[in-house]
Structure 1
């Protein structure tokens, strides 16, 4: 069981690395297309977003990175300490990016989510669900979910049967490859695995990451006496979903 969890953590770390780079790129492109220093303008974010606190964190990340980052040193010396968003995101933690995305206005969240392939069909949701999704894109909660999972892996904590920050599933279930998500919300590992496989379909098309996850669970977990995939949140019919039998993006 320990060996299974170790291999699973390694797989998840690899997938989250792809996702982190993808989210970082799309966030920096979206903000930077209007202003290289858009992240410093609190007007571009929600009134509820603690912008000044986030900026303080960003400055600490810059101070930490100046020792080893040539782009950071270059901008600090040449541009009076101003660091454009596409340089800054390179030294931010995934949790920092997640919080920045959460603080964006809904229209910006939706634009970025669509570029990442998280295209929600609002017409199939109830009015209340539509209003919630329009107010804040569900991806905001899922990025928080993934950042917590990433931190657990970085500290070598087990992940197979842990609970994480709940993330809503109704809107994401409208995406065909995410229809296997549990109803209501997801806090077990399966939801994160399903979303990672979906995101890799756009960020690393043709990837066999999901097939490797399938094989690992089938070959090394299901044979462990007394353990069931339901402990990770897997639906009983998970093997019947194309998401786990076809390459990412196929």
Structure 2
């Protein structure tokens, strides 16, 4: 069975190759630097700038320009390429810290979902639609599971269950193939009583946890694809997290969610707070905490 995505019929790669007249021409690294200068960005070391651009796609760097631009699209007076690059480096290191705590949260969530569901419905109960709520699209869910097995068929534990158990995967095995987004959807599709059981393990309301998982799915995808966190406006707001209105769609409330969901055996103080304090100290001259939604007393709250 094919699992290739269906591309929109309006997209024709061959036609794009034949008629590229409306596509911008490529620029050399020096020309890219000159574009920055023309828009008001100061370059203190031109050789270093072109070296950076040779290893960092201009298009990847360009989202970081937003925090430094005026309404007319020009850079604010005094902004340097070196400062922008510092923010990029800060963001890269920040992603590493956040991704590090997302891992134990994801593993914990897999464990709790599998334990809750199998304790009540058995190892293969997830294959029965009646064990989910009315919003659950069971045929799509089963197809997604089949796709995951197909994509991961070379993994030893997948081969083992295909060969020895005829392709029957207990939920605690199947969840090892779930993405964070699949885990989030699985939780949201549970019966309310089962959502409450899982949420109670995290000491939060069940609707609140559903909101948080949607938010963390976006956060994980951003980190996994090395995309920007700094000065980012997130599309979803985590329910029940009290922050200033200006910070609702910034990173700060998501850090509070991570703190709440982090399993107790994870060394939050050492792995997150201490590293974050050091990172913010190292880059204090390049960044603005308001661009992350951090309050003045953030260190006491995190």
Change (3 A) 1:87 1:184: farther
> Equivalent residues in 2 for 1:31-180 (5 A)?
31-34=117-120, 35-68=122-155, 70-115=156-201, 117=202, 119-120=203-204, 137-170=207-240, 173=241
Let me know the Cα RMSD of the aligned residues.
2.3
Cα distance in 2, alignment partners of residues 17 and 4 from structure 1? 21
C-alpha displacement at 1:32, in angstroms?
1.4
Gaps of 5+ in 2: 1-86
Number of residue-to-residue matches in the alignment:
215
* TM-score in terms of structure 1 length: 0.78
Aligned partner (choices 180, 190, 193) of residue 255 of structure 2? 193
CA displacement 1:36-92 (0-9 Å, x = unmatched): 012111111111121221221111111111212x22222222223211100101111
* TM-score in terms of structure 2 length: 0.65
Q: Is the 8 A contact 2:238 2:254 kept in 1?
A: no
Q: Is the 8 A contact 1:5 1:160 kept in 2?
A: yes
Cα distance in 1, alignment partners of residues 188 and 220 from structure 2? 17
Say if 2:288 is the partner of 1:233. no
Q: Is the 8 A contact 2:252 2:292 kept in 1?
A: yes
Q: Is the 8 A contact 1:181 1:194 kept in 2?
A: no
Tell me the secondary structure at the aligned position of residue 33 of structure 1.
Answer: helix
Cα distance in 2, alignment partners of residues 60 and 25 from structure 1? 21
C-alpha displacement at 1:112, in angstroms?
1.1
Cα distance in 1, alignment partners of residues 143 and 199 from structure 2? 26
Cα distance in 2, alignment partners of residues 167 and 206 from structure 1? 23
Tell me the secondary structure at the aligned position of residue 167 of structure 1.
Answer: coil
Number of the residue aligned with 2:277: 215
C-alpha displacement at 1:185, in angstroms?
9.1
Gaps of 5+ in 1: 121-132, 174-179, 244-250
After superposing on structure 2, the runs of 4+ consecutive aligned residues of structure 1 that deviate more than 6 Å are none
Change (3 A) 1:164 1:82: same
Tell me the secondary structure at the aligned position of residue 207 of structure 2.
Answer: coil
Cα distance in 2, alignment partners of residues 39 and 187 from structure 1? 34
Change (3 A) 1:186 1:206: closer
- Of stretches 207-216 and 25-34 in structure 1, the one that deviates more from structure 2 is 207-216
Q: Over alpha carbons, which structure has the higher Rg?
A: 2
> Equivalent residues in 2 for 1:2-17 (5 A)?
2-17=88-103
Cα distance in 1, alignment partners of residues 184 and 163 from structure 2? 28
